[in-house]
């Protein structure tokens, strides 16, 4: 990091700027990701090169760290500014302490030590991050014709240094001595000439058992479907009986028996059907007349002429 501090001091008089940002993102189990970003505009790069410092030197120092898991990327913007980003994942608090110690040693310079190793403390219900950062010029700035006091004044106008911490649950931070909050990040602004303690504690989220179980069930279902496709030569093999067939068959049988009993009961309760009107004798139309009753007339008396 000699290159970064030297560049900041060199460009101070020219009114340019150099930025340094250290970020740590911590999960509920103490794992997470550690990153560092260094950037400078075109004028700063030109002044730093004249002083014998480049950002490539910083990128090379990170690539030379013991842990090969560090990922380093360099980028240039159309305006001539350049940025170097380095990041690494850690599995537990011990790994973070080791990796942040490597980074602290890599960025240390005779002109000043910028970072101390970071620590994560995981308790049953809380997660805590501790560490320190500083920007205190040392006696080595005399090589630049400066005193520690004058170097501090120059850095105040040219060097922007921040440390960011993101806890597992950004919405439930219990305590922090950060300078400000930026979205989900707690931010410490490290002023030249100051040594800043970093301390933040938050609620440790519970393990998402439900999400894990649903994810496992979905993975098993996908695996079973893939196996069926492979077994069927690319097509899903027909299943018989289908899933849930015994229960479905019993329900279907019960429904059929109930319907049959209902039909039989309806047939027994139904009265005999009346004869259709067409089968009945047609009723005589008009008034009914009783046939006339006639009595036999007596025979007339016989007459004889005697």
Q: What is the band of 226 on the pLDDT scale with cuts at 50, 70, 90?
A: low
Task: Provide the pLDDT for residue 246.
Answer: 59
Q: What is the pLDDT of residues 54-87, one digit of tens each?
A: 667 777 777 777 678 889 898 989 988 889 899 9
Q: What is the band of 249 on the pLDDT scale with cuts at 50, 70, 90?
A: low
pLDDT greater at residue 72 or residue 18: 72
Please state the rounded mean pLDDT for residues 98-105: 90
Q: What is the pLDDT of residues 256-276, one digit of tens each?
A: 777 767 665 665 555 555 545
Position 155 pLDDT exceeds 50: yes
Task: Provide the pLDDT for residue 253.
Answer: 65
Task: Provide the pLDDT for residue 171.
Answer: 94
Q: What is the band of 298 on the pLDDT scale with cuts at 50, 70, 90?
A: low
Task: Provide the pLDDT for residue 9.
Answer: 52
* Rounded distance between C-alpha atoms, residue 18 and residue 37, angstroms: 11
Mean pLDDT over all residues of the chain? Answer: 76
pTM, two decimals, is 0.64
Q: What is the band of 148 on the pLDDT scale with cuts at 50, 70, 90?
A: confident
Position 11 pLDDT exceeds 80: no
Position 283 pLDDT exceeds 60: no
Domain coordinates of the chain in residue numbers?
2-203
Please state the rounded mean pLDDT for residues 32-40: 92
């Amino acid at each position: 990091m000699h290159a970064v501090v030297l560049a900041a001091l060199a460009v101070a008089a020219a009114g340019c700027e150099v930025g340094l940002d250290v970020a740590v993102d911590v999960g509920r189990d103490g794992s997470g990701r550690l990153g560092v970003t260094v950037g400078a505009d075109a004028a700063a790069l030109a002044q730093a090169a004249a002083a014998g410092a480049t950002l490539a030197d910083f990128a090379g120092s990170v690539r030379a760290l013991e842990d090969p898991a560090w990922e380093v990327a360099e980028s240039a913007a159309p305006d001539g500014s350049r940025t170097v980003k380095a990041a690494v994942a850690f599995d537990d608090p011990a790994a973070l302490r080791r990796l942040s110690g490597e980074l602290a040693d890599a960025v240390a310079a005779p002109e000043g030590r910028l970072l101390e190793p970071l620590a994560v403390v995981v308790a049953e219900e809380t997660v805590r991050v501790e560490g320190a950062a500083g920007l205190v010029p040392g006696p080595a700035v005399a090589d630049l014709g400066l005193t520690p006091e004058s170097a501090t004044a120059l850095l105040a106008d040219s060097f922007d240094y921040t440390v960011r911490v993101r806890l597992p649950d950004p919405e439930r931070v219990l305590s922090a001595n950060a300078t400000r909050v930026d979205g989900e990040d707690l931010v410490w602004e490290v002023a030249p000439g100051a040594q800043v303690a970093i301390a933040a504690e938050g609620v440790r989220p519970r393990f998402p058992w439900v999400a894990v179980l649903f994810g496992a069930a979905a993975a098993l279902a996908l695996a079973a479907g893939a196996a069926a496709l492979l077994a069927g030569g690319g097509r899903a093999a027909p299943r018989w009986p289908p899933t849930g067939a015994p229960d479905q068959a019993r329900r279907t049988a019960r429904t059929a028996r109930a319907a049959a009993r209902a039909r039989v009961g309806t047939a027994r309760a139904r009265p005999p059907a009346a004869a259709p009107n067409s089968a009945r004798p047609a009723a005589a139309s008009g008034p009914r007349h009783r046939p006339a009753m006639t009595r036999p007339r007596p025979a007339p008396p016989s007459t004889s002429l005697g």
